[in-house]
């Protein structure tokens, strides 16, 4: 597929979600297994053929709210290594009344401890957040994606074009120990959909340190296991069915895709 065809396919895909792309968005989300240079792509994008950005800056305002939440609260939580804004906010095509989806990465074997701690914390501090089974409200935080440091790769059945776009467009507001850079490299499947955007992210996010993944003590693993079982049973009882896409090292509380 040549660059012209890739541009056409990219715009067509975005329109399925009602989105019109600017030049930078076309570049990062270019649907092709071939890598194109930005210069090569821009030569094919005439100004009149590229849709302008939304006049509203709702997505920027919502990213700032996530940054404030992180700096004021999440930064001091030692077991949380990364916070990324995902969904429609990250895609830069969001409505004013939309909530703010977040991806959280924790230290190895500590996901369920920090999930429980965070739930209590946000309740105690009255931080607006989306509750189970409730409709989204403007600017509520939705902690719906969780990964553990020892399992950063997205599951095979979720390796698709939609999630590739979500990964490329994610706005990282907290990044400790080069976890975002490691996350990118673990998910090299993205280049099978968006090779240009993935290559751009890799080149602009080099790993600065050679940290070895630390193994957790046995007692840490056991506590995490007990907390996982307890929270999983609770979720199943509330939903009255088995909860999918949830295990010891990952949890995806969003629509199937």
Residues 105, 81 contacting (CB under 8 angstroms): yes
Residue where the block lists tokens 């997505």: 59
Q: Is residue 193, in this structure, part of any structural domain at all?
A: no
* DSSP annotation of 215: P
Using a cut of 0.85, tell me whether the model's pTM lies above it. yes
CA 96 to chain centroid: 20
Going by DSSP bridges, is the β-strand pair 250-252/171-175 parallel, antiparallel, or unpaired? unpaired
* Strand (E) or helix (H) holding 34: none
List, for residues 139-184, the tens digit of each pLDDT value: 999 999 999 999 999 999 999 999 999 999 999 999 999 999 999 9
CB-based contacts of 132: which residues, under 8 Å, 6+ apart? 235, 238, 239
Tell whether 126 and 231 lie within a shared domain: yes
Compute the distance between CA of residue 155 and CA of residue 157 in angstroms, rounded to an integer: 6
The reply to whether 89 and 171 lie within a common domain is: yes
The pLDDT tens digits for 13-27 are 999 988 888 888 999
Report the domain count for the chain: 2
Instruction: For residue 90, give its domain range.
Output: 58-187+216-252
**Do 87 and 159 lie in a common domain?**
yes
Q: What is the pLDDT of residue 54?
A: 46
Can you tell me which residue has the tokens 């907290």?
174
- Mean pLDDT, range 126-135, rounded to an integer: 81
Q: Do residues 32 and 121 share a domain?
A: no
């Amino acid at each position: 597929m040549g660059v012209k065809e890739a541009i056409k396919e990219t715009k067509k895909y975005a329109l399925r979600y009602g989105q019109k792309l600017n030049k930078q968005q076309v570049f990062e989300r270019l649907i092709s297994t071939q890598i194109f240079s930005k210069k090569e792509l821009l030569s094919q994008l005439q100004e009149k053929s590229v849709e302008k950005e939304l006049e509203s800056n709702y997505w920027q305002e919502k990213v700032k709210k996530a940054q404030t939440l992180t700096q004021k609260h999440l930064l001091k939580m030692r077991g949380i290594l990364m916070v990324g804004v995902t969904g429609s906010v990250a895609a830069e095509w969001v409505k004013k009344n939309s909530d703010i989806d977040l991806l959280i990465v924790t230290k190895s074997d500590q996901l369920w401890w920090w999930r429980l701690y965070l739930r209590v914390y946000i309740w105690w501090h009255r931080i607006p957040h989306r509750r189970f089974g409730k409709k989204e409200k403007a600017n509520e935080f939705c902690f719906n994606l969780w990964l553990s440091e020892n399992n950063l790769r997205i599951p095979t059945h979720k390796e698709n074009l939609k999630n590739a776009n979500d990964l490329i467009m994610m706005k990282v507001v907290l990044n400790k120990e080069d976890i975002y850079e490691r996350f990118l490299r673990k998910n090299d499947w993205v280049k099978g959909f968006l090779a240009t955007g993935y290559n751009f992210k890799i080149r602009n996010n080099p790993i600065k340190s050679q940290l070895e993944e630390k193994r957790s003590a046995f007692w840490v693993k056991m506590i995490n296991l007990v907390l996982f079982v307890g929270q999983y049973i609770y979720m199943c009882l509330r939903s009255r069915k088995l909860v999918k896409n949830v295990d010891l090292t990952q949890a995806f509380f969003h629509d199937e895709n």
